[in-house]
C-alpha cells in the first residue's frame, strides 16, 4: 500500500506542486533501501520514501529547505539525515536510490546570475541536470534506481534514449510535459 505524507509549505522554500507530486508518486513505487533526496525542498519525496521503509538523507543547498524538510519529517513521524549540500559536494556514502527534482525551467538569466534557484536551470534549463547526470554514479550502489524529474522544455526524451532510462510517469501541463525518468 502506498503511503503519502502531509506536507506544509515554508517561506523561501519551493512548495509541492505537480512536479513534486509526480516525483513522490514515482518514489512510492520505485525507491528502496538507502535513499538520497537531492534538492529536497519541503521533503515530500524523501518523506514518502521514509514512510515506505527507506532510510533517507535529505539534502538541499538552501538551509531553509533543510529545516523545512526536517519539520515536515517530524510532522509525519519519520526520521532521516538532514544536510546542506550544493549538489553532491556535502554528500557522503552510497545510495540505492536517488530522487532529484532539479530546477529545470530555462531562464533568461545567465548561468552566473542570481535567479530563483528552485526553478531556474540556466539558459537551457539543463545546468543542474547535466551536473547531476555527470556525477550521480559516484554515489550509487551497484543495484540502484535514480528517479529524475525533467521537462519537455529540456528534452527529457533525449536523456531517456541516451541513458536507456524508462519513463515511469508523465503529466501534461499547459506549456510543457513533465516526466520522471528511472535510470538503473
The low-confidence residues of the chain, meaning pLDDT below 70, are 1-4, 104-105, 108-125
Residue 11 counted as domain residue: no
The reported pLDDT for the residue numbered 34 is 98
Q: Which residue has the cell 531517456?
A: 160
The reported pLDDT for the residue numbered 127 is 87
Q: Burial level of 28, CB count in 10 A (0-12/13-18/19+)?
A: middle
User: How many folded domains does the chain comprise?
Assistant: 1
**DSSP sequence for 102-114:** ---B--SS-TTS-
Residue 13 counted as domain residue: no
Residue 179's DSSP bridge partners are 150, 170
The reported pLDDT for the residue numbered 107 is 72
Residue 5 counted as domain residue: no
Q: Burial level of 2, CB count in 10 A (0-12/13-18/19+)?
A: exposed
**20 membership: H or E segment, kind and range:** helix 18-30
Cβ atoms of residues 181 and 145 within 8 Å: no
In this structure, what CATH number is given to the domain that contains residue 92? Answer: 3.40.50.150
Q: What is the pLDDT of residues 19-66, one digit of tens each?
A: 999 999 999 999 999 999 999 999 999 999 999 999 999 999 999 999
Q: Coil, helix or strand for 65?
A: helix
Residue 4 counted as domain residue: no
The reported pLDDT for the residue numbered 11 is 92
Cβ atoms of residues 78 and 57 within 8 Å: no
Residue 9 counted as domain residue: no
| Domain span including residue 127 | 18-183
Residue 51 counted as domain residue: yes
The reported pLDDT for the residue numbered 112 is 44
The whole-model pTM stands at 0.90
The reported pLDDT for the residue numbered 133 is 96
The reported pLDDT for the residue numbered 110 is 45
The reported pLDDT for the residue numbered 135 is 95
The reported pLDDT for the residue numbered 31 is 98
Residue 7 counted as domain residue: no
Amino acid at each position: 500500500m502506498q503511503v503519502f505524507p502531509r506536507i506544509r509549505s515554508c517561506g523561501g522554500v519551493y512548495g509541492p506542486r505537480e512536479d513534486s507530486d509526480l516525483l513522490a508518486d514515482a518514489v512510492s513505487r520505485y525507491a528502496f533501501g538507502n535513499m538520497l533526496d537531492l534538492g529536497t525542498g519541503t521533503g515530500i519525496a524523501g518523506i514518502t520514501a521514509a514512510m515506505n521503509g527507506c532510510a533517507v538523507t535529505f539534502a538541499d543547498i538552501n538551509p531553509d529547505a533543510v529545516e523545512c524538510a526536517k519539520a515536515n519529517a517530524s510532522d509525519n513521524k519519520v526520521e532521516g539525515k538532514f544536510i546542506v549540500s550544493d549538489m553532491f559536494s556535502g554528500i557522503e556514502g552510497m545510495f540505492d536510490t536517488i530522487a532529484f527534482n532539479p530546477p529545470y525551467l530555462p531562464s533568461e538569466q545567465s548561468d552566473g546570475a542570481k535567479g530563483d534557484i528552485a526553478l531556474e536551470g540556466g539558459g537551457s534549463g539543463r545546468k543542474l541536470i547535466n551536473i547531476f547526470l555527470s556525477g550521480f554514479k559516484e554515489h550509487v550502489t551497484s543495484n540502484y534506481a535514480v528517479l529524475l524529474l525533467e521537462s519537455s522544455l529540456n528534452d527529457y526524451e533525449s536523456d531517456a534514449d541516451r541513458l536507456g532510462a524508462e519513463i515511469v510517469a508523465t503529466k501534461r501541463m499547459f506549456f510543457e510535459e513533465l516526466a520522471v525518468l528511472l535510470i538503473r
